[in-house]
Structure 1
Amino acid sequence: MTHTLGSIAEALGATAEGRLDLAITGVAEPARATESDLALAMEPKFAETLGQGKARAAVLWQGADWRALGLEGAIFAPRSRYVLAGVGRVFAPPLTLPHGIHPSAVIEPGAILGEDAWVGPFTYIAVGARIGPRARILNHVSIGADAVIGADALIHPHVHIGPRVVIGDRFICQPGAMIGGDGFSFVSPSRDAVEEARATGQISAASRTPGFARINSLGSVRIGDDVEVGANAAIDRGTISDTVIGDGTKLDDLVDIGHNVQIGRHCLLCGQSGVAGSSILGDRVVLGGKAGVADHLRIGSDVIVTGASGVSSHVPSGRVMMGNPAMKMDLSVASYKALRRLPRLLEKMESALKRVPKDDSSR
């Protein structure tokens, strides 16, 4: 698909200068751009590589001299990554899913599909499910009984949505995600080793359980509007009440959300992060990659947990947490620096001890 420089700027809500009629067929890194590409050089550090490519137009930083860079036109980006999101929307290839319902799809009696919904091959929609208008459900998706999915959903292949799950509008789900699976809830007939270890720090023969009984998850999952779930992510349904994901929250690939968890609005959970059962996260919380939150904790709003950190206690709002166990970032950095100094301090102590005269007990 061909666009003009001016139409791209209009779609991005950005300003443009130069030849607005330039035909653009794609986007590229500056050094690899062809004459019909829009080079993405949104920061001054990319100026040098612009000359290595053949782009006639580029997305540039504010105040850049596009003529001096040898260009015929430019779009200006006050916030580069935000403009990049818009460029992705303009040039995203269209889905190839045919309109309508594929003959191999199984839609049980009583399921309701909204106007202009698409259903791909080998997809199963159970009794009582309700799918909103303009939903695009690709191949090999399963949707459980009485599930509700809002308008304009995009559900990629091999997604499984469990019974009674309720999802808002404009939901996007990447391949392989599981929403509404049974929670990881088990109990032993008598006090087990984990309970004893928590209470006493010891494990005795009396706490060696012969097995575990399952606690079935009677709740489900409620997801707000504008939520995205990454590939192979898992969201367990609640034990009694529902697991909740707030409006605008984004979950990356391989994120694990335990039963009864409540996550607020506009949170970001990066790849391989996890939240254990019954923990509560406020609004605008960010979990870096591989960050973990233990069970039954409260994390306030506007908290950032850096990658690979382990949160094992409650966190008030507005904190930046780092390390394992996670602590305020400045304390974590100071602790890390002190830890690195330990070998040198020990060497100095050993050297000093060697110079101290030994006690002569014969005197």
Structure 2
Amino acid sequence: MVDTRFHRFVGPIALGALLAQVGRNDLVGSLSNPDHLITGVSELALAGPGDLALAAQPSYVEELRRTAAGAVLIAPALRDAAPAGTILVALDKPHNLFADILDTLYPSSTRAIIAAGRDDLGAPIFERDVTLGANVVVGPGVEIGRGTVIGANTVIGAGVTIGRNCIIAANCTIDCAHLGNDVVLHSGVRVGTEGFGWLDLGRSNRKIPQLGRVIIQDRVEIGANSTIDRGALGDTVIGDGTKVDNLVQIGHNCRIGRNCLIAAMSGLSGSTILGDGVLLGGGVGTSGHLTIGAGTVVHGRAAVTKDWPAGSKLAGAPAQDIRDFWRELATTRKLSKGEKQG
């Protein structure tokens, strides 16, 4: 669900009234219970009885079958997969209406890096031996643990929490995030930036509100000028002990396991999942919405476009088993030499 430390919620509101507010009175009459109270918005897997969730395409079916959401915006073809008793708002392109609802329930004015008017979060809290460099900006409700050092010109957004004995270098920005203990962010790191999510692609390019968080667990190190986008609704997670090199892009809703190593210039598209101990060489890219199993090694410049099981060794673009990669390369060289000799 959306963390209201970072995004103020203007509800609760009855589902029928919410639809009327976004200009969709035509859908109210089809509701089994228009008075159902919406107390938040969440992903299908995490939603509860007061939450509104989205099921827009077939990839949502398994989570839809198990959801506890009270109401779901749903593509008509998926209706039969919804649990009995769930209030369904069925329409074509439900993602567009979902974006309208998110903008209504969590106004964009609450999503600034230093949210205005968040006096409800209270003053920042610092444990002892916290060091702040010159020109550090700390938003309301921030909590910083003992022994942490914050470098010059760093900006920490409202509600952010930072654990103990962390080193946050100069010129970082941290928003919509919770950091564990012994975390190191090198200069210029951006944590909690908006994810790259759009509707009506190539035409209006409408932004999908990005209302999730970034969770950085203990002993994580992030290299200079790397960027970690917050989730769209859920979390982007960096697991214990993972080390990320300079100039790495981690997209929204990625989940990176424990003790992974990600070399410079790599880019992980949204909803990429890395198991524990995955090693990515320099310049690796992923196409998103895929899983790379624990202990996998991906060699530099590989382009991962599908799921791979634990222990894989990958190379090439598109990425393939490294033995197939070398075999194809050797065959190509032989053919090339044969043509020259002929």
CA distance, structure 2, for counterparts of residue 321 and residue 148 of structure 1: 37
Q: Residue in 2 aligned with 1:130?
A: 143
User: Which of 1 and 2 has greater Rg?
Assistant: 1
- Return the offset for 1:342: 2.2
1:182 aligns with 2:194: yes
CA distance, structure 2, for counterparts of residue 109 and residue 125 of structure 1: 12
- Return the offset for 1:221: 0.3
Q: Residue in 2 aligned with 1:152?
A: 165
Q: Residue in 1 aligned with 2:128?
A: 115
1:173 aligns with 2:185: yes
Q: Residue in 1 aligned with 2:246?
A: 253
Q: Which runs of 5+ in 1 are unaligned?
A: 1-107, 193-208, 352-363
Q: Which runs of 5+ in 2 are unaligned?
A: 1-120
Q: Residue in 1 aligned with 2:289?
A: 296
Q: How many residues align?
A: 222
Q: What letter is aligned with 2:181?
A: D
- Return the offset for 1:210: 2.9
- Given candidates 218, 230, 234, the residue that maps to 1:237 is 230
CA distance, structure 2, for counterparts of residue 332 and residue 343 of structure 1: 17
CA RMSD of aligned residues (A): 1.3
Q: What letter is aligned with 2:186?
A: Q
CA distance, structure 2, for counterparts of residue 131 and residue 138 of structure 1: 13
Q: What letter is aligned with 1:293?
A: T
- Return the offset for 1:279: 1.1
CA distance, structure 2, for counterparts of residue 270 and residue 344 of structure 1: 35
Q: Residue in 2 aligned with 1:201?
A: none
1:337-358: CA deviations, max 9, x gaps?
A: 112222223346xx4xxxxxxx
- Given candidates 221, 226, 251, the residue that maps to 2:219 is 226
Note the 1:91-110 alignment, pairs <5 A. Answer: 110=123
CA distance, structure 2, for counterparts of residue 260 and residue 210 of structure 1: 25
1:276 aligns with 2:269: yes
3-state SS of the aligned residue for 1:179? strand
- Return the offset for 1:280: 0.6
CA distance, structure 2, for counterparts of residue 274 and residue 315 of structure 1: 17
3-state SS of the aligned residue for 1:283? coil
CA distance, structure 2, for counterparts of residue 151 and residue 129 of structure 1: 13
Q: Residue in 1 aligned with 2:305?
A: 312
Greater length-normalized contact order (CA 8 Å, ≥ 6 residues apart) = 2
- Return the offset for 1:138: 1.2
- Given candidates 325, 330, 335, the residue that maps to 1:337 is 330
CA distance, structure 2, for counterparts of residue 342 and residue 162 of structure 1: 54
Note the 1:70-85 alignment, pairs <5 A. Answer: none
Q: What letter is aligned with 2:151?
A: L
CA distance, structure 2, for counterparts of residue 258 and residue 122 of structure 1: 29
3-state SS of the aligned residue for 1:175? coil
- Return the offset for 1:109: 5.8
- Return the offset for 1:268: 0.3
CA distance, structure 2, for counterparts of residue 324 and residue 338 of structure 1: 17
Q: Residue in 2 aligned with 1:323?
A: 316
Q: Could you state the TM-score of these two structures normalised by the residue count of structure 1? A: 0.60
- Return the offset for 1:286: 0.5
3-state SS of the aligned residue for 1:336? helix
Q: Could you state the TM-score of these two structures normalised by the residue count of structure 2? A: 0.63
Q: What letter is aligned with 1:265?
A: R
Note the 1:51-90 alignment, pairs <5 A. Answer: none
CA distance, structure 2, for counterparts of residue 162 and residue 342 of structure 1: 54
3-state SS of the aligned residue for 1:333? helix
Q: What letter is aligned with 2:198?
A: F
CA distance, structure 2, for counterparts of residue 237 and residue 286 of structure 1: 22
CA distance, structure 2, for counterparts of residue 341 and residue 334 of structure 1: 11
CA distance, structure 2, for counterparts of residue 340 and residue 240 of structure 1: 48
Q: What letter is aligned with 1:175?
A: S
